[in-house]
Structure 1
């Protein structure tokens, strides 16, 4: 990097991994994908008590990168990935991928003795091809999914998740564990009440999009109770965040995004350092940034730089509650029920 070669302090908004390792003049004010993936994994393990995870990822550089960091964090925390599948980019039909996750492909079902025995009876007793096909289809639909995970991580965009979530519901996987009314309806109508195992959906900052909860699209109810995190949330009630959003809206007549918020904070941090520390050289500027001391209260949170010159700031923790994306305190009680094993105290 040219700035490092010239000894000029630079404050980057890039997410590229290892950026600040280039040299002592490189600072960053943007959470990396690895930091966000680790945060989600750690929250699910420590606060929700999840020990078994499923992962459904896109075949993209982003999906592969975030999944790798998420999986590493699970292993570091002593948890396991018990179901995994991936899908090509631009896929619009997710049924086969979800079926593989929960053991409901034709091959999976034929491997179940109970299913194969019943299917053989149908073939012997019903000779009419049309009626036989209908009976076999009904048998398949009655076969419960094999849900051996308590949370499902999907590192993809809100637009894609809008297609995946209904496909998950179509395989009789319950993802609305925080909605007691919905669970009660499921308990009364399901044929597999004893083995009912709600799954917690987990996402990334890409889920922070109003389109995901737009009830006119029809997928909103399937992402109810989902949890994810972002580096900025325009609807936050934090004082500094709210003031920035109001000022930005007044100036540009629209809500700011994460990039505008981080750019604003980056500029404000540099201004604060220059006005308070009055650095007279490049080295003094670098030292002033590295030794800010008191955290800067900005639109994206309280910011201070660590020894690695990475910004140390909390994420905005979000969940979906009845058609809206809402912020919650990660240090407080979780907004959703813990995993079944966590409720009973077992591991």
Structure 2
């Protein structure tokens, strides 16, 4: 396990996201000096006001503080600028920049002692996020440096993972125990999952020793007692196992967690995540983990409840994905979310079926090429083919019968266009004309011209939103005026309707192409429509945690965890209960009103979107419900 990529991503990017992000009060520092260059002081005051107002810090703010320190190196404001440059870079995720600025502040003999103390605290956090476990521990040696519970929680989180990265599980567990009383509900869920994972890594003798040395009734003692109970049971030591389970029951009661679950049924408040957090798919694994992190806090309109996510790194390998399912099943997960690629999903699905653990897979093709048929294996992602078929049903249901297809000459373009054409045929419609273009084409006037004179009413384009930005204006130049289905004919040209999978749809599309695509029906799988009542709540939480909009995979991972949580909220208490609930329930998710068919693949059409002209005169993308 590497410190920044796995543990700290989860522990800090997700869990500490719940901690206050606003900058700490300046009362712990001396006031910036009134002497010095007035221009430097004025710039510093402006940047400081922006930093304290925005809270999370931005790259631009960090750059301004760094510029002040660089341009006025001998001014008395320079040490303050270095401290704030480091803090802003830290909150912007630019850890190398943060380390450089904060180390300079710590090493500045002319700086005030209180300023250097603050810089040392943030230097320790930055080193932890950057993966320097030993350096982080050294810089975080002052327990009185934090000034509020948010900073104390963050310090304990980083120290816990730093010690874990160095193989010192007992110290890591102790820091998790210190963090727990300061933690939010979502953070406590993560802590419980993390201490269980650390306890599972100890050998039998080490687990016994550490339990004996851990007296405080916190999450560490709970996890260690669970581990020891399992070991003693396996050895046939029934009396010893009963003693350990008594500790488990007492600590669970002290922590307000309720009775322990049955040993063979899974913990209904623990969901596993089998994701690629290293290897060539690490980036998409991180995205899925972000969505899962938000799901630990809330699901739709459900009230928050203790709900932990325990993560295992599949290392972008199929064998490791199967091993991850094994590990999560042993840990007690009531269900597993992931993995992502087809090979890993096949391996994980086979293992989940063998173990009787519900698996909610995130493969992009929605299980289309996964042969495992088990009542425990579900596929939550709507594939491009499924979304194309949904677009055909939407248009046909509103009276459109004549279609054209314009698709890239690629495997994706051909497969999705074929699926759309077949669905149109099943619905009694007709594909009047079908044309193609080279993948990545940048000019479409010549491509559109041959189809412009054909008698079709709706055009289907299976491609990215970026390509659609080029195609929509080309339609207008050919006097094909895109508009909503059922809209009045235009004053000039011919009214047509635009349908697209619009992969990787972003707000830019509406800004640049809205006037050429008003009324277009888009099926990207997910779009961060912050005005939709369901999607908007998720987008707000995600932005608060990560400072950006959620994307496609973030959303599907969120919905996967939400499904499990909704099953538990509906009364599921075992793995079998969860599998049965998933087969029968309907959940309003951020990717649609989710329900599974008999094959445990999505049976709903997902969420479609359209381009609208809002009352303020701006084009925007809105969900259709």
Global fold match (TM > 0.5): yes
Whether contact under 8 Å (2:530, 2:537) holds in the other structure is no
Aligned mate of 1:163, from 470, 474, 479: 470
Aligned mate of 1:288, from 574, 578, 582: 578
Q: Mind listing any 5+ residue stretches in structure 1 that lack a counterpart?
A: 103-145, 187-195, 280-284, 330-347
Q: Mind listing any 5+ residue stretches in structure 2 that lack a counterpart?
A: 1-345, 614-618
Q: 1:274: how far off?
A: 5.6
Q: Which moved more, 1:156-165 or 1:227-236?
A: 227-236
Judging changes above 3 Å, is the alpha-carbon distance between structure 1 residues 171 and 207 closer, same or farther for their aligned structure 2 residues? farther
- 2:417 is aligned to 67
Whether contact under 8 Å (2:530, 2:540) holds in the other structure is no
- 1:134 is aligned to none
More helix by share: 2
CA deviation vs aligned residue, 1:45-88 (integer Å, no higher than 9, x gap): 121x1111111100122211110110000111111111211011
Judging changes above 3 Å, is the alpha-carbon distance between structure 1 residues 79 and 207 closer, same or farther for their aligned structure 2 residues? farther
1:304 aligns with 2:585: no
CA RMSD of aligned residues (A): 2.6
Whether contact under 8 Å (2:507, 2:621) holds in the other structure is yes
1:200 aligns with 2:497: yes
Q: 1:198: how far off?
A: 1.1
Matches of 1:325 and 1:288, distance apart in 2: 35
Matches of 2:463 and 2:520, distance apart in 1: 14
Aligned-partner SS, 2:456: coil
Matches of 2:497 and 2:594, distance apart in 1: 31
Matches of 1:77 and 1:50, distance apart in 2: 10
1:11 aligns with 2:301: no
Q: 1:174: how far off?
A: 2.4
- 1:113 is aligned to none
1:153 aligns with 2:460: yes
Whether contact under 8 Å (1:20, 1:309) holds in the other structure is no
Whether contact under 8 Å (1:147, 1:173) holds in the other structure is no
Q: 1:29: how far off?
A: 0.9
- 2:11 is aligned to none
Q: 1:220: how far off?
A: 3.2
Q: Which moved more, 1:265-274 or 1:32-41?
A: 265-274
CA deviation vs aligned residue, 1:14-48 (integer Å, no higher than 9, x gap): 1325245422032111112222111111111121x
- 2:83 is aligned to none
Q: 1:327: how far off?
A: 2.3
- 1:277 is aligned to 572
1:222 aligns with 2:512: no
1:2 aligns with 2:298: no
Largest Rg, 1 or 2 = 2
Judging changes above 3 Å, is the alpha-carbon distance between structure 1 residues 207 and 321 closer, same or farther for their aligned structure 2 residues? farther
Matches of 2:379 and 2:592, distance apart in 1: 14
Q: 1:99: how far off?
A: 1.5
- 1:325 is aligned to 621
1:213 aligns with 2:510: yes
Aligned mate of 1:23, from 370, 373, 377: 373
Q: Which moved more, 1:16-25 or 1:248-257?
A: 16-25
Whether contact under 8 Å (1:213, 1:220) holds in the other structure is yes
Matches of 2:561 and 2:528, distance apart in 1: 19
More relative contact order, 1 or 2 (CA 8 Å, 6+ apart): 1
Matches of 2:515 and 2:526, distance apart in 1: 24
1:257 aligns with 2:564: no
Aligned residues: 267
When the two structures are superposed, what TM-score results if normalisation uses the length of structure 1? 0.69
1:36-115 to 2 correspondences below 5 Å: 36-47=387-398, 49-102=399-452
When the two structures are superposed, what TM-score results if normalisation uses the length of structure 2? 0.40
